[in-house]
């Protein structure tokens, strides 16, 4: 989940705020009223309320408001990731209080769409943007001519590694997962305090594990809102099993650490050299450079190790989009905001790339030279997007389920059991499959494999 990109302090605030989630929702409900600041009858700009979480969004909003006369954006930071979704789901249930436009990660779109929370922007001209975005992202954001979100950023995965540690321990940059394991053993033997990486076992790393399975060829869901109530659930296919067999083996041999990703211990490990690599996503550079500032210049980026030598299989972890909620009073203007907050605006994307470290899914920006040739001091001046852009272009199509939170939580619980030695790693995928299948059936889906 790209929520992990936020600095620790922000997440902490979010944690504390969750306990008061209901209170927050009540406040939001009082303050919003559909975001119609001045009302339809009056002249003057229409105010559109937007929920988004990264701090640099402030400049993006300023840029939008500067370049638009009839529509103005009111930004609210309503929590990071799951905290925001909790509030959104509550406002949707309550029937009021939702913003006009909301930032959503791709895996959350089917869930919110199924609860009838999203407006079909296709009716307001959003289909014109289809060619602007990479195919897999547009497919996740739409269903035929129905457009439920405008893609913004993605999380193509790659391997970040500490060049200095690799040199010190004479490690080779692995290109396959088999090599990765060999180097992990070599490193841990040379320094028992150091690990090749940290296996993301917690909820915030649900997307990390899914991304690795994506790369291994796993396609757990076959879902499209227009084919309800049919859904294909196949969480224990060969690709998924391959990933847990592999990582379970690394964990059992103590070649990787098992710290939760949402902890200070993990950030600390990234900055003290405890971890020699970090299997990261396209938004990872911003995240890493904020939590491990003092290691600036020591990191490099290499493509994700492959299952077969010479392969080009990629996966995605996180990434976000803008959706218009069904509660908006101004569907036309809200759609305009979702489409144009970034859209093709050079200025907005400059803020997004340079300050928020967004990985653009807009084709002209993604394939443009500004992004592609950019050198990053944190990575010793490496042009890291020479790794990330091909990775993004190698991501195939992938469906999410409309009960993704349940699936991630179940997966996290089962991985937890395996980690604690209560069950076997080889049983994780089968257990997740049977629990998610019976949940889906209970929710009224017609489940097939």
Partner 1 sequence: MSLLRQQGSTVTAPPSAAPAKGLRTPAGGRRTGGLSARTRHKGMGVLLISPFLLLFLAFLVAPLGYAFWLSLRTSTLVGGDHFSWFANYQQTFTDPHFLSGVRRVAVFGVVQIPVMLGFALLGALIIDEVTSRLAKVFRMTLFMPYAVPAVIGALMWGFLYSPTFGPVNAISNSLGLGKVDLLSHTLMLTSLGNIVTWQWTGYNMIVLYAALQGLPREVYEAAKLDGAGQVQTALRIKIPMISSAMVLALMFTIIGTLQFFTEPRVLEKTASSVITPDYTPNLYAYNLAFQYSEFNYSAAISFSLGAVVFIGSYFFLFATRKRSGLK
* N residues, the chain: 449
Whichever of 114 and 347 has its CB closer to partner 1, that residue is 114
- Give me the least distance between CB of 113 and partner 1, in Å please: 11
The residue (of 209 and 330) whose beta carbon lies closer to partner 1 is 209
Task: Write down the least CB distance from residue 156 to partner 1, Å.
Answer: 25
- By beta-carbon proximity to partner 1, the closer residue of 265 and 373 is 265
Strand order from edge to edge, sheet including 230-233: 221-222, 230-233, 446-448
Q: Which is nearer to partner 1, 85 or 283 (CB)?
A: 85
> Minimal distance in Å, beta carbon 14 to partner 1?
9
* Residues forming the site for partner 1 (CB under 8 A): 11-12, 15-16, 18-19, 21, 82, 85-86, 89-90, 93, 111, 114-115, 201-204, 228-229, 259-260, 262-265, 268-269, 402-403, 405-406, 409, 412-413, 415-416, 419-420, 422, 442-445
- Cβ-in-10-Å burial (0-12, 13-18, 19+) of 239 comes to buried
Give least dist CB 203 to partner 1, A.
4
- Cβ distance to partner 1 smaller for residue 264 or 308: 264
- Can you tell me the distance from the alpha carbon of 387 to that of 281, in angstroms, rounded to the nearest whole number? 11
Cα dist from 416 to 214, 265, 387, 422, whole Å: 21, 18, 32, 9
Structure-token pair, residue 435: 């629990």
β-pair type (277-280, 230-233): unpaired
- Residue 119: left if φ>0, alpha if ψ -120 to 50, beta else—which one? beta
Q: How far is the CB of 13 from partner 1 (least distance, A)?
A: 11
Strand partners, 320: 105, 153
**Cα distance from N-terminal residue to C-terminal residue, the chain:** 26
Min separation Cβ 36 and partner 1, Å: 26
Between 90 and 306, whose beta carbon lies closer to partner 1? 90
Q: Choose among 370, 387, 157, 134: nearest CA to 282.
A: 157
């Amino acid at each position: 989940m790209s929520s992990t990109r936020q600095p620790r302090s922000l997440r902490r605030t979010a944690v504390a705020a969750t306990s008061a989630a209901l209170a927050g929702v009540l406040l939001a409900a009082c303050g919003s009223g559909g975001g119609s600041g001045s009302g339809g009858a009056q002249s003057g700009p229409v105010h559109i309320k937007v929920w988004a979480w990264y701090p640099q969004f402030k400049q993006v909003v300023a840029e939008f408001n500067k370049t638009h006369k009839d529509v103005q954006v009111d930004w609210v930071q309503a929590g990071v990731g799951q905290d925001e979704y909790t509030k959104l789901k509550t406002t949707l249930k309550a029937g009021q209080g939702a913003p006009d436009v909301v930032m959503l990660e791709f895996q959350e779109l089917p869930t919110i769409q199924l609860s009838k929370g999203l407006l079909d922007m296709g009716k307001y001209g959003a289909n014109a943007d289809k060619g602007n975005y990479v195919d897999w992202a547009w497919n996740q954001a739409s269903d035929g001519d129905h457009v439920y979100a405008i893609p913004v950023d993605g999380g193509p995965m790659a391997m970040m590694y500490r060049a200095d540690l690799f040199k010190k321990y004479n490690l080779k940059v692995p290109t396959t997962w088999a090599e990765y394991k060999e180097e992990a053993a070599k490193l841990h033997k040379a320094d028992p305090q150091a690990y090749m990486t940290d296996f993301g076992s917690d909820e915030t790393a649900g997307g990390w594990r899914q991304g690795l399975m994506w790369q291994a060829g796993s396609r757990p869901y076959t879902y499209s809102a227009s084919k309800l109530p049919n859904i294909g659930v196949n969480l224990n296919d060969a690709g998924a099993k391959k990933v847990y067999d592999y990582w379970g083996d690394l964990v059992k041999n103590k070649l990787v650490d098992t710290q939760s990703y949402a902890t200070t211990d993990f950030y600390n490990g990234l900055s003290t050299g405890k971890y020699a690599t970090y299997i990261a996503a396209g938004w990872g550079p911003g995240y890493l450079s904020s939590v491990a500032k003092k290691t600036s210049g020591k990191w490099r980026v290499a493509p994700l190790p492959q299952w077969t030598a010479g392969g080009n299989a990629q996966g995605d972890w996180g990434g976000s989009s803008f959706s218009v909620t069904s509660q908006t009073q101004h569907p036309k203007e809200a759609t305009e905001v979702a489409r144009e907050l970034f859209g093709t605006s050079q200025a907005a994307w400059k803020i997004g790339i340079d300050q928020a470290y967004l990985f653009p899914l807009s084709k002209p920006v993604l394939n443009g030279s500004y992004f592609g040739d950019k050198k990053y001091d944190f990575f010793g001046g490496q042009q890291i997007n020479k790794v990330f852009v091909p990775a993004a272009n190698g991501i195939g199509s992938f469906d999410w389920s409309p009960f993704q939170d349940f699936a991630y939580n179940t997966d996290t619980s089962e991985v937890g059991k395996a980690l604690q030695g209560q069950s076997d790693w080889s049983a994780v995928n089968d257990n997740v499959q049977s629990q998610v299948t019976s949940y889906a059936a209970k929710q009224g889906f017609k489940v097939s494999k």
